[in-house]
């Protein structure tokens, strides 16, 4: 009980800490941050329920007014801005990533974590993300999806990195990889 609570709180804090890492810019000028990698790690390391709850705690604290999104943003204004769908999608993405990780328990950690991160942290996250953009900007779904296109290469990189981090954690702390416990 205590362990679940502290793991959820600490991984929510990890999402925030990764968002504070200075962002780097891809060749064609799209900024990417490590924040969504934190969401993927919640799933690949903590599993579906704990990972989803950690991301949910993070999103709830953004709403309450903590400046914990990449670039020091936060507050209720974020929920009225075009990126709202990605934010509310964080818990769903972490949950699905964790669920897939658990479902692929026969596979080695590295490929399983990469596949789970791509499907859960990218494909699933882009559904609410695109819907939110479509609603706030008054665009059709395909138009909104096109607006998100420049961010996909960065997210793919993050999914692969999340896989490597998960596999390193699996070697260093095999007992803490709860998605495989």
Partner 1 sequence: MLSLTSPVRTPFHPWPVGLKLALLALITFAIFLSDSLAVHAGALVGVALAYALCGRVFTRDALRLMRPIWIFVALILAWHLLTSEPELGLRIALRMVVLVALANLVTMTSRLSDMIALVTRLLAPLRRIGVNPAMIGLAAALFIRFVPVLTEKGAHLAEAWRARSPRRPGWRLAVPVTLLALDDAEQVAEALKARGGVPNE
Nearer to partner 1, 75 or 115 (CB): 75
Which region, judged by CB under 8 A, interacts with partner 1, from 34-42, 94-102, 104-112, 115-123? 34-42
- Near partner 1 by CB under 8 A: residue from 43, 52, 74, 132: 74
Q: 1: number of CA atoms within 13 Å, CB side?
A: 0
Spatial CA neighbour of 47 closest among 19, 11, 14, 15: 11
Spatial CA neighbour of 122 closest among 84, 160, 66, 69: 160
Could you tell me which residues come within 8 angstroms of residue 79 by beta carbon, excluding any fewer than 6 positions away?
63, 87, 88
In the numeric block, the tokens 């996909």 are attached to 152
- Using the rule CB under 8 A, is 152 a contact of partner 1? no
- Using the rule CB under 8 A, is 150 a contact of partner 1? no
Report DSSP state, residue 124: I
Nearer to partner 1, 106 or 181 (CB): 181
In whole angstroms, the minimum distance from the beta carbon of 31 to partner 1 comes to 10
- Near partner 1 by CB under 8 A: residue from 67, 111, 150, 174: 67
Burial classification of residue 78, based on how many CB atoms lie within 10 Å of its CB (0-12 exposed, 13-18 middle, 19 or more buried): middle
Residues that bind partner 1 (CB under 8 A): 1-3, 5-14, 16-18, 20-21, 24, 34, 37, 41, 45, 57-58, 60-61, 64-68, 71, 73-83, 136-138, 147, 161, 164-165, 168-169, 172-173, 176
């Amino acid at each position: 009980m205590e362990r679940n609570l502290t793991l959820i709180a600490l991984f929510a804090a990890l999402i925030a800490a990764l968002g504070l890492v200075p962002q780097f810019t891809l060749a064609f000028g799209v900024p990417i941050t490590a924040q969504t990698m934190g969401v993927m790690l919640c799933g690949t390391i903590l599993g579906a329920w704990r990972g989803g709850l950690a991301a949910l705690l993070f999103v709830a604290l953004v709403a309450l007014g903590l400046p914990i999104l990449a670039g020091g943003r936060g507050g209720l204004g974020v929920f009225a801005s075009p990126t709202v769908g990605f934010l509310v999608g964080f818990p769903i993405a972490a949950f699905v990533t964790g669920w897939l990780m658990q479902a692929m328990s026969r596979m080695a950690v590295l490929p399983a974590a990469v596949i789970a991160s791509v499907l859960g942290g990218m494909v699933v996250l882009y559904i609410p993300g695109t819907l939110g953009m479509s609603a706030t900007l008054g665009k059709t779904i395909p138009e909104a999806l096109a607006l998100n296109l420049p961010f996909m290469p960065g997210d793919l990189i993050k999914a692969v990195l999340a896989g490597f981090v998960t596999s390193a954690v699996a070697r260093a702390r095999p007992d803490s990889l709860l998605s495989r416990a």
